[in-house]
Amino acid sequence: MAKLIYVSGGSFCNIMAIHLAKLKYDPTLKQKGVFSIQPMVLLTSEDAHYSIAKGANFLGFGTDSIIKVKTDDKGRVKPDDLENKIQQCKQNKTTPVMFMATCGTTVLGAYDDLEGVADVCQRHNVWMHVDAAWGGGVMLSDKLKHLTKGVERSDSVAWNIHKMSGAGIQCSALVVKEKGFLEKCNAYRAEYLFQPDKLYDTEYDIGDRTVQCGRKNDVLKVWLMWKGRGDKAMAARVEKAFENAKYLTEKVRSTEGFRLVLPEYQCTNISFWYIPPRLRGKEETPEWWQEVAKIAPNIKARMMLKGSMMIGYQPMSTKGLVNFFRVIVGNPICEKSDMDFIVEEIVRLGDTV
């Protein structure tokens, strides 16, 4: 039976997973430290969340220990490249201890092939962690949970229930498959706290499962929300976001001057460029793309000054893409009319850029 703890955010979930992975590889590291063995490395998708770099720094691995695995044109990790990278690690006398897969990447919203990843990780005895901080909400929907097929084969999962599922921030769960492993890695049995002969069941003393010990009762948020909404409403919230995202995708596709970064999206991250009239119909040279790169920041500045909406933008160096808009559809009160407004407002603000 899996165990979970609530920690201070998705980034810390991923950092905790690195901590667990190293101790699964060698339990003596709890006493001897990471300098007692040959170098360890961490593997992840080239489009994964930057928290793995924070964790590598924080836990003494160093960011040079991170090996990036290639992704396909939709942003999904390539299991065959993961296999190749692990083989290279072994040839180089370094130890691959963890691979971090993603369900819902930050930019493109990609869901990695968890079955393919699990096959590789199990073959090489590498800890498989799934960062489902953003996209994990689909697990509540019978219509959408296929996106996370294979998640049950992972060793640990990060899930930000305050994101797609709508709990009050902050509500981040780390689920670990092996029962008792959190205690094994983190417990120090402080006598003034964790006495075995208390009046109540000491199973409720969960402070020794985490490096943080004292924490707020975040699970209460989940319990109250779930009791209030029920299973069907929890699923419907996520499904509505996906329906709105699909509508926005088609609205962008059919509106002059817009160009989707991808033809289809797995999650509710909808990314696109807006090409103003002065740049349409021209040869798409490197200089032309540099002009396009200026459009999203300019339009965002205008929308902020007007106070009409807030939409993020960014480049994506792993794919060689210049600045594009990234709309995250998740608010349950949004309707299709709000999706129309997004497109129409960008046209109003951007036609003279």
Residue 111: pLDDT above 80? yes
Q: Which two three-digit tokens encode residue 231?
A: 């299973």
**Helix or strand holding residue 300 (H, E):** helix 286-306
Would you say residue 269 has pLDDT above 70? yes
pLDDT at position 243 = 98
pLDDT of residue 1: 56
**323: helix, coil or strand?**
strand
Nearest to 19 by CA among 33, 35, 39: 33
What's the mean per-residue pLDDT of the chain?
Answer: 94
- Lookup: tokens for 296: 């999203």
pLDDT-derived band at 6 (thresholds 50, 70, 90) equals very high
Q: Outline where DSSP puts E strands in 180-337.
A: 258-260, 269-274, 312-316, 321-328
And the tokens for 216? 């707020």
Which pLDDT score is estimated for 211? 86
For the stretch 185-235, pLDDT in tens is 888 877 778 888 888 887 777 877 888 877 788 999 999 999 999 999 999
> What percent of the chain is modeled with pLDDT above 70?
99
CB–CB of 102/130 below 8 Å?
yes
- Scored b (16 or more CB within 10 A) or e, 98-129 reads bbbbbbbbbbbbbbbbbebbbbbbeeeebbbb
Angle at 102 between CA 100 and CA 104, to 5 degrees: 165
Give just the sign of the alpha carbon dihedral 70, 73, 75, 78: negative
235-242 mean pLDDT: 97
pLDDT, tens digit, 9 for 90 and up, residues 50-66? 999 999 999 999 999 99
Can you give the pLDDT at residue 313? Answer: 98
Residue 194: how many other CB atoms lie within 10 Å: 15
Q: Do domains 3-216 and 230-350 have the same CATH topology?
A: no
Question: How far apart, in whole angstroms, are the C-alpha atoms of residue 165 and residue 221?
Answer: 11
CA gap 68, 317 in Å, rounded = 14
Q: Does the domain made of 230-350 have the CATH classification 3.30.1330.10?
A: no
pLDDT at 21: 97
| Predicted local confidence at residue 202, as pLDDT | 76
95 pLDDT higher than 60? yes
pLDDT on residue 194 = 80
Which residue from 114, 160, 203, 190 is spatially nearest to 11, judged by alpha carbons? 160
Rounded CA gap, 306 and 258, in Å? 22
Q: How far apart are CA 162 and CA 169, in angstroms?
A: 5
Q: What pLDDT does 191 receive?
A: 77
Distances (CA, A) of 269 to 246, 328, 330, 346: 10, 5, 9, 17
**Structure tokens of 70?**
């290639």
The whole-number average pLDDT for the span 34-41 is 84
pLDDT band at 342 (very low <50, low <70, confident <90, very high): very high
Distance CA 28, CA 275 (A): 57
Neighbours of 20 (CB within 10 A): 24
pLDDT value of residue 217: 87
Whether 31 shows a pLDDT value over 70: the answer reads: yes
Q: 203 vs 175, which has greater pLDDT?
A: 175
* pLDDT band for position 2 (cuts 50, 70, 90): low
pLDDT, tens digit, 9 for 90 and up, residues 285-303:
999 999 999 999 999 999 9
Find residue 158's DSSP bridge partners.
131, 174
Which CATH code for domain 3-216? Answer: 3.40.640.10
CA dist., res. 48 & res. 131, Å (int)? 8
Strand order in the sheet with 40-45: 3-7, 172-176, 156-160, 127-131, 95-102, 40-45, 66-69
In the chain, what are the domain boundaries? 3-216, 230-350
